[in-house]
Chains A and B, each alone.
Chain A
Amino acid sequence: MDSLRPAPNSDFLVNKKRVRVLGLSFDDAVKIFFGGNALVSVIVLALITYFLFQEGFGFFGQNHRNLLTYRQAGLEYVDYIRTQESAHTALTRYLSDLRLRQFNYATLEKNISPSAANESLVAFDDFAALYGDAVEPLRGLVSELTEQSTAIKTKFLVAEDKRVERQQLTTEGKIAEAAAVKIETVDFALEVKALTGTLPAYKELAAEFAKKLDAALVTAPAMPTPELKNRLERFRQLNSDFIATFPATTRSLETWDYTRAVPWYQAFSAFLFGREWLTASFWQDWYGIVPLFMGSLMVSLVALLLAVPMGVGAAIYVNQIASAAEQRFIKPCIEFISAIPSVVLGFFGIAVLGQLLRWLSQQDALAWVPGFPFSERLNILTAGCLLALIAVPTIFTLAEDALQNVPKAFKEASFALGATRLQTIIKIVVPASLSGIISAVLLGLGRVIGETMVVLLCAGNRIAIPDFTAGLAVVTQPVHTMTGIIAQEMGEVVRGSIHYRALFVVGLGLFFLSLAINFLAQKIVNKYRISIG
């Protein structure tokens, strides 16, 4: 029947002539353009990974060479003896502490005048001096050896530089100049012999040292109280423990061999588990991430400890309790706090909060707080407080979202059974939104651990593992952080140097840490989402 009635324009459905370039219509091109832009995020993520790896990758090789030089130039050998010396220094510090206690006992409990107290301690001072001076010969040896091995290392590094120079000249085609570069080869065997040759002298010194220590200890005066007596006894114990380590040290020195290879994994383990981050030192550079990681961790913990109760509490209040008018006021305010730039918060920490906290800590009424009073105004606590202010809006917003997603029916059912508001919140609303709240906390942690300016300005920037023996007072110690060290040192390092690459590896660590936190947060949200239905 169709054929009887020819359509007015029966070819209307057939493709019209649309402009095509490379087989693509205009619409296809638009789609590809947008799709390409969407791919940028994937590309960026890949590029970040690539460049962090590219710049950081050489670190482990360089660190391996660094550790190898440490051994070959005999620095390791010297450090064995140096350890002994510093252990002795720790013991003398114990003695000065003991003196302070005796002094305090005399002045405070016995009400003896300070000068008289000092006089009564003359015998003890003599003993302490004797004990302290015993190390002098050993110290002399250490400084002598230090000079020698530093000289070896410098010689070696200069030779390496020359070698690089020659290679550069060769690749540039300047053969003659390259040949003119003089490279002094370092004969480690010969150089190191000068160090190891001191072994008999050391043995003598050590034996004498032990004798002197024991002899000094005999002169120790009696202590006035049982408590102090115990401390002196403890000191005797420490002393004999110290002397007991002498044979081990000697053995280490005897068996030390500069030719022993440094296993490749030590380049990694020295970074991952290294307890020292020491750069631009005349002696030996160490790149251990532990103090920085601990710093970041401690600051983040303090921040979360403050921010989680506040943020979640506020979210519960705003979502479940507050009136509509209050909500309209509080939400924008907290959003506003999130807009305060971190560098301004950091400045606030330096200018106001640090001093305020120190002043608070010095109030007598607050002396019972662990760690109070403290003298460093920039420390874990100061940075943690400010980071809490950064984390709170993140935690608040996400936790509030999670609470909002709890179906109203749950709440109504609970109320209908006669539960109070608090019971409903604790037993129904919070459990139902728990996964959301936990991921909010995790994302808050991610925000805090990646924050740079506040910790750079307010954490105190002392590169050391916090002293956990101080108990809770640990939070009043200054630390340095992973983000802070990058920001602080990246501007000053030579491109391509081991230090520069180490900073990139720290960045790589931060990057993967943030990815892991993100991943975990998503996992938790996805896993428990079903529970709400």
Chain B
Amino acid sequence: MDIKTSFNSSSSGRSIPVTSSPVGPTLIDIDHVDFYYGASQALHDINLKIEEKKVTAFIGPSGCGKSTLLRCLNRMNDLIDGTRVAKGQIKIRGINIYDPSVDVIELRKRVGMVFQKSNPFPKSIYENITYGLRLQGRSNKSDLDAVVEKSLRGAALWDEVKDRLHTSGLGLSGGQQQRLCIARAIAVEPEVILMDEPCSALDPIATVKVEELIQELRTKFTIVIVTHNMQQAARCSDKTAFFYMGKLIEFADTRAIFMNPANAQTEAYVSGRFG
């Protein structure tokens, strides 16, 4: 995973936009999705398969639709008035998550999310982690204790906070807060973790820690990460999807996207010529 972004200009005129080479089983199948905010179309015919236990990065300039697509995956967009998936399906394990029979609450338990701005609840660290479990009615003290430790260890935060589990989560530093949010998300044992620019508000040192954490988490979870930072995508993802103007321009192995992009726009973006 030590891919350096080399700006080789070996552009290729291949017209096929998607050059995926699936090696793992598909977990999420995004099947020709159109998405609207009111009257304006935010996503155009997105077609993309996300593999299990891989890190998939969505990159692209601001407003390209990458966050929108991410929020479609656990239906967080439902919270915004006037949004709708007009065409296509998003299937997780073959089940269309926009089907009326799907319980969105169950969906969100299985598809966790970490937000751009760390948002620990103004409760203690312990309560933050156990929030999701308590919602499910789990209240066995030793059970919860075990989960808290496991999650915090999983988020590489245990050593830093084990002595102050019952102090407010807001007292942590920015990077710690974000890792707390990750710990909170993994406490409910989702299959997928969606990360919406998780490092954009963090300093470089905290960013490195979160990136290291992502590397560890990939063994257990399927991770989809939206990022502005191309180096980050290059460093920590297996597959990368490049979006532009609500369209999926190219989706391939990260190495391929950065070393040998198939599309001229992708190349221009990863080499820093626009965006």
Question: A–B direct touch, CB within 8 Å, in complex?
Answer: yes
- A interface with B by C-beta (< 8 Å): 1-2, 4-5, 7, 10, 12-16, 18
Q: Which residue of A has the minimal Cβ distance to B92?
A: A13
Q: Is B110's beta carbon under 8 Å from chain A?
A: yes
Q: A1-B26, A13-B92, A13-B102 are in contact. List 8 more A-B contacts (CB 8 A).
A: A4-B25, A12-B106, A13-B97, A14-B101, A14-B102, A14-B103, A15-B102, A18-B103
State the CA gap A18–B103 with chains docked (Å).
10
Least Cβ–Cβ distance between A31 and chain B, in angstroms: 14
Q: Which of A2, A15, A16 contacts B94 (CB 8 A)?
A: A2
Q: Which has the most chain B C-beta neighbours within 10 Å: A2, A12, A13?
A: A13
Q: Is B107's beta carbon under 8 Å from chain A?
A: yes
Least Cβ–Cβ distance between A461 and chain B, in angstroms: 54
Q: Which residue of B has the minimal Cβ distance to A10?
A: B93
Q: Is B76's beta carbon under 8 Å from chain A?
A: no
Least Cβ–Cβ distance between A4 and chain B, in angstroms: 7
- Tell me if B26 and A13 are in contact (CB < 8 A): no
Residues of chain A contacted by B101 (CB below 8 angstroms): 14-15
Q: Is B201's beta carbon under 8 Å from chain A?
A: no
- Tell me if A16 and B26 are in contact (CB < 8 A): no
27 contacts between A and B (CB under 8 A): A1-B22, A1-B25, A1-B26, A2-B26, A2-B93, A2-B94, A5-B25, A7-B93, A10-B94, A10-B95, A12-B106, A12-B110, A13-B92, A13-B93, A13-B97, A13-B103, A13-B107, A13-B110, A14-B95, A14-B101, A14-B102, A14-B103, A15-B102, A15-B103, A15-B106, A16-B106, A18-B103
Residues of chain B contacted by A10 (CB below 8 angstroms): 93-95
State the CA gap A1–B97 with chains docked (Å).
19
Residues of chain A contacted by B94 (CB below 8 angstroms): 2, 10
State the CA gap A146–B26 with chains docked (Å).
104
Shortest 5 CB-CB contacts between residues of A and residues of B: A15-B103, A7-B93, A13-B95, A1-B25, A13-B102
One digit per residue, 1 when the CB lies within 8 angstroms of any chain A CB and 0 when it does not, for chain B 89-111 equals 00011110100011100110010
State the CA gap A60–B101 with chains docked (Å).
60
Q: Which residue of B has the minimal Cβ distance to A27?
A: B105
Least Cβ–Cβ distance between B236 and chain A, in angstroms: 25
State the CA gap A2–B27 with chains docked (Å).
8
Q: Which residue of A has the minimal Cβ distance to B29?
A: A2
Residues of chain A contacted by B22 (CB below 8 angstroms): 1
Residues of chain A contacted by B92 (CB below 8 angstroms): 13
Q: Which residue of B has the minimal Cβ distance to A4?
A: B25
Q: Which residue of B has the minimal Cβ distance to A16?
A: B103
Least Cβ–Cβ distance between B235 and chain A, in angstroms: 28
Q: Which residue of B has the minimal Cβ distance to A6?
A: B93
Residues of chain B contacted by A4 (CB below 8 angstroms): 25
Q: Which has the most chain B C-beta neighbours within 10 Å: A1, A16, A18?
A: A1
State the CA gap A2–B25 with chains docked (Å).
6
State the CA gap A14–B93 with chains docked (Å).
12
State the CA gap A16–B95 with chains docked (Å).
15
State the CA gap A18–B107 with chains docked (Å).
15
Q: Which has the most chain B C-beta neighbours within 10 Å: A1, A12, A14, A18?
A: A12
Least Cβ–Cβ distance between A28 and chain B, in angstroms: 13
Residues of chain B contacted by A12 (CB below 8 angstroms): 106, 110
Least Cβ–Cβ distance between A8 and chain B, in angstroms: 9
State the CA gap A13–B25 with chains docked (Å).
19
Residues of chain B contacted by A2 (CB below 8 angstroms): 25-26, 93-94
* Complex interface residues of chain B between 118 and 150 (CB less than 8 A to chain A): none
Residues of chain A contacted by B106 (CB below 8 angstroms): 12-13, 15-16
State the CA gap A10–B106 with chains docked (Å).
12
Q: Which has the most chain A C-beta neighbours within 10 Å: B97, B106, B107?
A: B106
One digit per residue, 1 when the CB lies within 8 angstroms of any chain A CB and 0 when it does not, for chain B 69-97 equals 00000000000000000000000111101
State the CA gap A1–B25 with chains docked (Å).
6
Residues of chain A contacted by B110 (CB below 8 angstroms): 12-13
Least Cβ–Cβ distance between B103 and chain A, in angstroms: 4
Least Cβ–Cβ distance between A327 and chain B, in angstroms: 29
Least Cβ–Cβ distance between B201 and chain A, in angstroms: 25
State the CA gap A75–B238 with chains docked (Å).
102
Least Cβ–Cβ distance between A9 and chain B, in angstroms: 9
Least Cβ–Cβ distance between A11 and chain B, in angstroms: 8
Residues of chain B contacted by A18 (CB below 8 angstroms): 103
Residues of chain B contacted by A13 (CB below 8 angstroms): 92-93, 95, 97, 102-103, 106-107, 110
Residues of chain B contacted by A15 (CB below 8 angstroms): 101-103, 106
State the CA gap A318–B106 with chains docked (Å).
54
Least Cβ–Cβ distance between A157 and chain B, in angstroms: 63
Q: Which residue of A has the minimal Cβ distance to B22?
A: A1
Least Cβ–Cβ distance between B208 and chain A, in angstroms: 34
Q: Which residue of B has the minimal Cβ distance to A17?
A: B103
Least Cβ–Cβ distance between B137 and chain A, in angstroms: 13
Residues of chain B contacted by A16 (CB below 8 angstroms): 103, 106
State the CA gap A275–B250 with chains docked (Å).
83
Q: Which residue of B has the minimal Cβ distance to A2?
A: B94
Q: Which residue of A has the minimal Cβ distance to B91?
A: A2
State the CA gap A12–B22 with chains docked (Å).
25
State the CA gap A12–B110 with chains docked (Å).
9
Q: Which residue of A has the minimal Cβ distance to B51?
A: A1
Q: Which residue of B has the minimal Cβ distance to A11?
A: B95
* Complex interface residues of chain B between 30 and 82 (CB less than 8 A to chain A): none
